[in-house]
Structure 1
Amino acid sequence: MARARNSRMESLLRELGWSQEQLAARFRRVAAENGADELRAVTRSHVNQWLRGSRPGGRAPHILCETFSRGLGRVVTAPEIGLDMGGEDLPQDTDPVMALAELGSMELDRQRRQMLTGAAYSLAGLALATGEGPAAQARPSRRPVCGGHTTAADVAGAREMMAFFSRRDQRRGGGDGRAALVAYLRTDIVAHLGRRFPGEQVRREMFSTASELVYLCGWMSFDAGEHGLAQRYFTLSLHLAAEADDAPLAGHILRAMAHQAVDLGHPQHALALADASLEQRRYTRATPRERALLGVVHARSLA
């Protein structure tokens, strides 16, 4: 039986005005950027097969989604290009606590983690960080989803764990100990964030500490060359910092995201992130050392 043509992919290709060869060329660039060396030989012939109904394998669906996303200037999902991801997709929950729980669950499942590590670095997704998309806002009316209370002692314990994982990363690098950090985030931190707080100060301190831990997980992913996954952790960390109303921490995270964008060859997007890192309280409340680093990355984005 002949395969049905992929009419959805054809429709988007017509909308963009791209030829099959142009799609293949853009696909190869995104694949190279994301370290998908096995896909750097994709040609017009492969695109033609996909349009005729053949399903691309491996990381190709993720790379295709990002290729179309960059062309259209918005996030394009697999179903929009006529591809079935087998019921799996990346976490899309806008609630950072729920998103952290789902992301952690996927990371701890060996098969599901392949989807995360295969995800492409998303330029359209940067809108969530620079304010062009839905803004990350504090949720003072957040309802507890776990029993019990999160106390100042729990915050202190989380900070001790942050210091431990940070020292380990500085000494070993390369993502060493990262799996343990993910497990800690998925179990202890998600539970702490989901309980009642005795007061606003404890709530903010816990969300701020959680943001730092998630940021560290993103940095470890960046260090391991898993740029799509690192970006998701950075964005999630930024949302947690917003809930903590921790402006200097948000600036620090945006600086790291700008650094990543520069390294991946996206200076205009890096500049937008660097500009955002310098906005108002993110800069004025930062330490002198952090201000200097914000300035360095901003200069790199302009170079």
Structure 2
Amino acid sequence: MSRPPLGRVIAETRRRRGYSQTRLAALLCAAAGVTTVTRHEVSRWERGDRLPGAQWLAWLALVLDLPPARLAAAARPLGLPAPADSVTRLHQLAEQWLRHTVNSDVPPDASWDPSDRHAVRHLARPRHDGGGVTELDRQIAELRRMDDLVGGADLAPIVHRRWQQAADRLHRARGADRRRLLRPVTELAQLAGWTATDAGDRPAALRAYRAGLGLAVEAGDAALGGHVLGAASHLLCGTDPGAAWRLARIAAAGVRRAGSPGLRALLAHRAALAAARAGDGRAAADGLLIARRLGDRMRPEQEPSWLYWLDQAELAAMAGRCLVVLDRPVRALPLLEQPGRHRPRRGQPRTRAVYAGWLARALLGVGEVEQACAVGADAAVEAVRAGSARAAEQARELSVRLAARPQTRPVRELSELITQLTSYLPGSSTRLGVN
């Protein structure tokens, strides 16, 4: 089910509260201590002619008694969430993948849509480069190193182009050549989906994940298929946590026999975060417990090459962000502040921006407002350096939460900084007619 636009949320909630537009404007001005919002501005918000900025979103949440996250989600550009039919199709494919995985001697059933199973056939077909699988593996390793340093806004077009080239080779290959190409092209599909997500292009990401899932089935690689579904779950977690939760659970069930401890721990974290965002604290806590037990068994040298980035510090940070969503900031803080997160690889701008945003939210949760503002300023700057929609979203979420706080000097300065930087962030809602 698609989310309603922000204007309709404001109008419907205002009417339920019995407020006129004039009354709502007066309440907002009283809460914010200013006189700049009028009935005409409220009317423009409700018609969708303008979008309120982050601070007014926070005051709207306070006056209308709505969750800030709901208003922040409704304020996102309408093109960002994945179309509902695409999500439904992905779930259907995931269920078929699971049936095929648990009965690996049975081929995919007739309802497995060839247009999804071989979605790469519909890509553009550039000139054949004549290289071998070894060269393709080298290219994948190079792209993964680039993903550690470059955000999706810059990297996604490059990855997509490499994926097109590899998909074209796969389409023409036969027999043993095709079998050798299947796994690397599946990896490229997963990476194309991941970088498209980081660029804020959810429809493109879903297309890549659907193609990758079909290729994983043909390759007979249940673990890689589970990884594709885990990445898709992470894509949907912010806008459709229920759908994300179902995908993560399907992925976990499919890799129960073939998955390494690290992969299974990662999928448990995907499920826990989605459950927390969906409001199921018990399921989220169960997922965190499973992830911790599996993580204790993880040996990095025995994990698949595409999980090179997963280590104990990363698993701890994942647990920390889930605890922030569960409103348990005291438990989250030591996990998000682990010294191991300051190793060189952790200096990657997107990683620093994303987890600094979560750390700032945890600090706000325990009342350390000034420290949260200092960390949040670093996160906002790193978000711009990263060119990452994921990092940008953290800056927006933090801005909404700050606006509901007493406007001390650190809060004002950080709010102004985020406002100044917003136009540089991928997927920004700041455009003509937006304040």
- TM-score (ref. length: structure 2): 0.38
Alignment of 1:4-23 (within 5 A): none
Displacement, 1:44?
9.3
Go from structure 1 to structure 2 and tell me whether the alpha carbon gap of 1:27 and 1:236 turns closer, same or farther (over 3 Å shift): farther
Report the count of equivalent residues.
189
The residue that corresponds to 1:295 in the other structure is: 268
AA partner of residue 154 (structure 2): D
Looking at structure 2, the residues matched to 29 and 161 of structure 1 have their Cα atoms a distance apart, in angstroms, of 46
Contact 2:155 2:195 (8 Å CA) reproduced = no
Q: 3-state DSSP class of the match of 1:222?
A: helix
The residue that corresponds to 1:43 in the other structure is: 47
Q: Which runs of 5+ in 1 are unaligned?
A: 1-15, 17-22, 31-39, 46-116
Q: Deviations over 1:247-298 (max 9, x none)?
A: 111111111111122122x222112101110123x23211211111111111
The residue that corresponds to 2:227 in the other structure is: 252
Contact 1:150 1:196 (8 Å CA) reproduced = no
The residue that corresponds to 1:127 in the other structure is: 88
Q: Deviations over 1:163-201 (max 9, x none)?
A: 111111112223433323222222x313311223342xx
2:159 paired with 1:181: yes
The residue that corresponds to 2:169 in the other structure is: 192
Looking at structure 2, the residues matched to 218 and 130 of structure 1 have their Cα atoms a distance apart, in angstroms, of 16
Alignment of 1:225-244 (within 5 A): 225-244=200-219
**Of 253, 256, 260, which residue of structure 2 is paired with 1:279?**
253
Q: 3-state DSSP class of the match of 2:246?
A: helix
- Rg larger for: 2
The residue that corresponds to 2:193 in the other structure is: 218
Q: Deviations over 1:187-245 (max 9, x none)?
A: x313311223342xx42331221111121111111112222222222222222222222
Go from structure 1 to structure 2 and tell me whether the alpha carbon gap of 1:166 and 1:271 turns closer, same or farther (over 3 Å shift): same
C-alpha RMSD over aligned residues: 3.7
Looking at structure 2, the residues matched to 299 and 29 of structure 1 have their Cα atoms a distance apart, in angstroms, of 31
The residue that corresponds to 2:142 in the other structure is: 164
User: Which structure has the highest helix share of the two?
Assistant: 2
Q: 3-state DSSP class of the match of 2:82?
A: coil
Query: Alignment identity in percent?
Result: 27
Looking at structure 1, the residues matched to 7 and 167 of structure 2 have their Cα atoms a distance apart, in angstroms, of 37
Looking at structure 2, the residues matched to 181 and 129 of structure 1 have their Cα atoms a distance apart, in angstroms, of 22
Q: Which runs of 4+ in 1 moved over 4 A?
A: 27-30, 117-120, 136-139
Q: 3-state DSSP class of the match of 1:177?
A: helix
Contact 2:7 2:46 (8 Å CA) reproduced = no
Q: Deviations over 1:44-68 (max 9, x none)?
A: 99xxxxxxxxxxxxxxxxxxxxxxx
AA partner of residue 269 (structure 1): A
- TM-score (ref. length: structure 1): 0.53
